[in-house]
Amino acid sequence: MLSNIGNEGQKKLSLSHVLIVGAGGLAAPVTQYLSGAGIGNISIIDGDKISLDNLHRQTLFKENDIGRFKVDVLKEYILSHNSNLKVKCYSFFSNSNNIKLISEKIDVIIDCADNFATTYFLSDFCLKNNICFITASVSSLSGYVGVFCKNSPSIRAVFPDLPKNNITCNTEGVLGTAVGLVGSLQAQLVIFYLLDIKKIFGQLYILDLENFRLSNFNFLGALEPKKNLQFLSKEDIRNDDFVFDLRTENEAENLISKNALRISLDHFNTNHKFLFEKNKRVIFCCKTGFRAWKAAKKLEK
C-alpha cells in the first residue's frame, strides 16, 4: 500500500461518492481506475447506446454489447471486478434539471461527456453547490483536464465564450490512445482530490500528444463573468417564453415546444426583436447547443 494513502486513505476512498457524467471513451479509463482504487459509491449517467464506431475508443465495450445502454455495461464491469462497490446507473441524458435530483451527497462530479453544453451547465451547478468539478475534453491528438469550482473558478471564468468551431470526436475524429491518456489523467486528479494529497484546485492540464508535451495552466485568479448564457432543459421552458427552434425538420420533426418558431441560425437576425417584449425570456434550441449559443450572442449584441 502506498505510504501517502495508507489505511486511512483507502477508507476515505471507500466512503467517497463520485458521479460520472457520460459513459463513453473518457469514462472507460475513469471507470476502470476509480473502481480499481476502491471508490465505494459510483453513479453514472448517460442515455446513449453502444454502436460499432464507438469501440475503438470506448474500450470496455465489445461487439456483442452493441445496442445496449452504455451505463448498464459499465455497471456490470465494475461489479464483476469488485462486488462490494455500490453502483447507480441512470440510462438517460443529463440536463440542467435532472442533475439536481441525482447529485445528492456527491463528492465530485466527473465530466466525461465531452460536450460543451453539458460541461457548462455542470460547471454552473457545481459552482452554485460548492462541488468539485473535474472535466476533460479530447479531440484528434490533444486534450485537457481541468479542476473547477469548489475553491476554484468555474469553467466560465476560464472559457467565457465558445470556440468558433464545434469540434468533437465525431466531427474531427480522435485516436483511442489519446482518449485513454486524458481519461487516465482525469481519474488521477479525482483520486488526488478525494485524498487531498496534492493541490490541484484551479489547474488546467493540457496534453499534446503530437509533440509529447504535458503542460499546466493555473487559473485561480480568473474572475467569474458578470453575465452568463444559461443552458436549460426542455422542462424549464415556460408558456410565455419566446422560443426559437434552430433545428431542421430532418433533425427534429417536432418543435421543442408548442410556442416555438422554427428558424435556421443563418436566417435569424435581430430584426426579430420586434417580437420581444420587455422582461420576456428568449430561448434558442438546437441539437448540441452550439447554434443556440451563437444565436444568443448575436441577439445579445
How confident is residue 165, by pLDDT bands cut at 50, 70 and 90?
Answer: low
pLDDT tens readout for residues 35-64: 999 999 999 999 999 999 888 888 999 999
pLDDT tens readout for residues 228-246: 899 999 999 999 898 999 9
How confident is residue 108, by pLDDT bands cut at 50, 70 and 90?
Answer: very high
Q: How far is CA 173 from CA 17, 63, 160, 176, 182, in A?
A: 32, 20, 25, 9, 15
CB atoms within 10 A of CB 100: 12
Q: How far apart are CA 60 and CA 98, in angstroms?
A: 26
Q: What is the predicted pLDDT for the residue at 270?
A: 63
Half-sphere exposure of 128 (CA within 13 A, CB side): 10
Closest CA to 146 of 173, 118, 119: 119
Q: What is the predicted pLDDT for the residue at 156?
A: 96
Burial class (CB in 10 A: 0-12, 13-18, 19+), 109: buried
Contact predicate 243/256, CB 8 Å: yes
Burial class (CB in 10 A: 0-12, 13-18, 19+), 111: buried
pLDDT tens readout for residues 184-230: 999 999 999 999 988 899 999 999 999 999 999 999 999 999 988 99
How confident is residue 275, by pLDDT bands cut at 50, 70 and 90?
Answer: low
Higher pLDDT residue, 182 or 275? 182
The answer to whether residue 14 scores a pLDDT higher than 60 is yes
List, as one string, the DSSP characters of 155-183. HHHH--S--SS---HHHH-B-HHHHHHHH
Q: What is the predicted pLDDT for the residue at 169?
A: 54
Residues in the chain: 301
